[in-house]
Amino acid sequence: MENLKNLIRKIFMPSINSQYEFTLPIKSESDSDIENVENVGNIEKIFSNIASNLEYVKVQYKTLLNSDIVVREFLLNARNKKFKAFILFIDGMVNSALINDNILTPLMLRNRANTFEGTQNFIDYDQKTNNAIVRKIKKFDIKDYINTCLLPQNSVQIISDFSEVFDGVNSGNCVLFVDGLASAFDIEVKGFKQRGVESPNNEIVIRGAQQAFNESIRVNTSLVRRLVNNENLIIENIPVGNISKTKCAVCYINNIVNDNLVAEVKYRLNNINVDYVLSSGQLEQLIEDNGNYSVPELIATERPDRVAGYLLEGRVAIIVNGNPYVLIAPAIMLDFLSSPEDANLKYQYSNLLKFIRILALFLTLFLPALYIAITSFHQELIPTELLFAIVSSRESVPFPIIIELLIMEISFELIREGGLRIPSAIGPTIGIVGALILGQAAVEASIVSPILIIIVSITGLASFAIPDFSLSFHCRIVRFVYTFLGYLCGFLGIAMGFFIHLFILSSIESFGVAYLSPYIPFEEKYKKGLFVTPIWKREKRPDFLDAKKGKKQPNISMKWKYTK
């Protein structure tokens, strides 16, 4: 079995070392820390001369060409002294009212800038007696004075090189330069327009939260924090992309998640060497274990409550700035057959719906292939009356059954794709009307048989019942493979294809977790997973996650039943 898995890995997962003329460093399993890969090129430090700083930022931002780059020069009043200063920001990405009220006004107006005259007093404590001591500031420090007295904005950072200046300005901050200081003030004044928190478009539930992520990373992290109300929730920012520097937030609960999983996620993000990453879909392809196979290896969701549930299980979430879909790692195949509604329904309802989804999965994969195999090779399995009906319906059809099926499958895919691309107001109508008219016309023109219309329709409806869009795409692709195998070899070809498909899936891993967990590899402790158990019996977190806290609730969770 292990040799067969290795063979499949060599065929479908070629080694990078064998394709390119370089070797990848092998990370030891004992290493739990991540070595941050940084660009150690020449980092330009901020000059103490304001004229040099002004000239440098104008050259870098090409202010003669860029109409939205704003450089505002002014005189800063502090302690009866005037200093040359300027602020740098991008118009349209900042809140102008905050700049006027919390930056320019306190820095330029004398009545506010000179409130603190002479020496300043502050309270210190004696280390031996712990008694309060009043000390005086005799030395005037313009940097500390501006930071502590003249900038009432809530978030101000002192930075020392131009790379930090550009990162701050490009993200919507305002940077203040003062003459004589070899550092600058990065002031958060973001104010660009963004879409509000709306209802989910795809993951719709009847009972449950009606909130979805939007394109702002900070709004998305706040939605997660509102649900996971715990100080152990860690959100780390990792920029991805040499040019775009897209912010990616790695979210996990520190006292639950496995440290090796967090280390692996951060290792992959830190070792992405591309110019830009603009969406979670692009990032998913860059960090998944095997991109040569169409099966999804990370969960993509637009629901904060679903992300919170996975975090509490012991998984890691990756939020990409500018994209409303959050990635969850690791993922197993059963995750893509689960719906957000399952968490809100009784386990009997959830199990019924999950059974329907599993049935839909097999129908969309095998129904066309089984129809071709039975009608071409195994007619003895069909009742006589039904066999005569099928034969009579195909008497006037001039095409072989495989061509007939391909015509209808491709037509159905065209209708589905066209319904997605045209305006949403008429998309569903065009899809329904187009399918009815096309099917009726095809039967009347003797291009296809009526029974085939039924087969293709059931297959299409079954693909809609699969909750995850990526898994549905995978099934649509693999269905054509099974169809050709059924046409060539009948049941034998379908069985061979199924076992090859199963072996490939069993060889895939998602961040070290077997894709077909908890059944392949099977262990006795994996007794739950396919169907939903009652909520009072969900004592343990999934074993394949190897979380720090394996138990999430006691055996008796409803204490009220036993305390009376």
Residue whose structure tokens are 């860059």: 286
Encoded amino acid at 371, one letter: Y
Q: What is the pLDDT of residue 41?
A: 39
Q: What is the pLDDT of residue 324?
A: 94
Block means of pLDDT (10 residues each) for the chain, length 564 residues? 58 46 39 36 78 94 92 89 93 92 87 49 55 54 86 91 93 94 94 86 88 92 94 94 92 94 95 94 92 90 95 95 94 91 88 92 94 90 84 82 90 81 68 73 82 90 91 93 94 94 92 87 60 84 88 84 74
Residue whose structure tokens are 């299409």: 460
Residue whose structure tokens are 């498909």: 501
Chain mean pLDDT for the chain: 84
Q: CB under 8 Å to 425, separation ≥6 — which residues?
A: none
DSSP notation for 226-276: HHS--TTEEEEEEEE-TTT-EEEEEEEETTTS-HHHHHHHHHHHHT---S-
Q: Put residue 258 in one of left, alpha, beta given phi > 0 → left and psi -120 to 50 → alpha.
A: beta
CA distance 367 to 262: 41
Angle between helix 491-507 and 2-12 (nearest 10): 90
Question: CA 369, 371, 377 angle in degrees (round to 5)?
Answer: 90
DSSP notation for 402-433: HHHHHHHHHHHHHHHHHHHHS-TTTHHHHHHH
435, part of any domain: yes
Cis bond before residue 324 (omega within 30° of 0): no
Q: In this structure, are 422 and 494 located in the same domain? A: yes
**Any idea what DSSP says for residue 446?**
T
Q: What is the pLDDT of residue 88?
A: 96
How is residue 488 written in tokens?
A: 């060539």
How is residue 55 written in tokens?
A: 């000239």
Q: In this structure, are 170 and 80 located in the same domain? A: yes
Cis bond before residue 467 (omega within 30° of 0): no
Per the structure, how many domains does the chain have? Answer: 3
CB-hemisphere CA count at 13 Å for 488? Answer: 11
CA distance 285 to 289: 9
Where does a domain end: 272, 299, 331? Answer: 331
CA distance 16 to 291: 12
Q: In this structure, are 355 and 471 located in the same domain? A: yes
- Grouping H, G, I as helix, E, B as strand and the rest as coil, residue 538 is coil
Q: In this structure, are 399 and 473 located in the same domain? A: yes
7, part of any domain: no
20, part of any domain: no
Encoded amino acid at 303, one letter: R
CA distance 161 to 38: 15
Angle between helix 401-421 and 450-464 (nearest 10): 40
Encoded amino acid at 483, one letter: T
Taking a C-beta distance cutoff of 8 angstroms, is the pair 176, 85 a contact?
yes
Residue whose structure tokens are 């690791």: 330
520, part of any domain: no
What's the gap between Cα 473 and its chain centre?
A: 18
Q: What is the pLDDT of residue 25?
A: 40
How is residue 319 written in tokens?
A: 């939020």
170, part of any domain: yes
Q: In this structure, are 233 and 167 located in the same domain? A: no
Residue whose structure tokens are 């505002």: 72
Residue 260: Cβ-neighbour burial (10 angstroms; 0-12, 13-18, 19+): middle
Q: In this structure, are 315 and 421 located in the same domain? A: no
Q: In this structure, are 497 and 365 located in the same domain? A: yes
pTM reported for the whole predicted model:
0.82
359, part of any domain: yes
Q: CB under 8 Å to 461, separation ≥6 — which residues?
A: 360
CA distance 339 to 308: 15
Where does a domain end: 139, 163, 187? Answer: 187
CA distances from 553 to 381, 534, 557 (A): 51, 13, 6
Q: In this structure, are 296 and 413 located in the same domain? A: no
CA distance 410 to 405: 9
Q: CB under 8 Å to 464, separation ≥6 — which residues?
A: 472
Q: Which segments of 272-329 are extended strands (E)? A: 299-301, 316-320, 326-329
Q: In this structure, are 168 and 249 located in the same domain? A: no
Taking a C-beta distance cutoff of 8 angstroms, is the pair 478, 293 a contact?
no
129, part of any domain: yes
Model pLDDT for residues 195-241, shown as the tens digit of each residue: 888 999 889 888 888 999 999 999 999 999 999 999 999 999 999 99
Residue count of the chain: 564
Where does a domain end: 146, 166, 187? Answer: 187
Q: CB under 8 Å to 479, separation ≥6 — which residues?
A: 364, 365, 368, 369, 409, 459
27, part of any domain: no
Q: What is the pLDDT of residue 30?
A: 38
Closest CA to 247 of 323, 174, 141: 323
DSSP notation for 33-96: S-------S-PPBPPSSHHHHHHHHHHHHTTTT-TTEEEEEEEEEETTEEEEEEEEEETTSB-H
Q: In this structure, are 103 and 144 located in the same domain? A: yes
CA distance 433 to 411: 13
Domain encompassing residue 85? 50-187
CA distance 519 to 513: 12
Q: In this structure, are 159 and 217 located in the same domain? A: no
Q: In this structure, are 278 and 355 located in the same domain? A: no
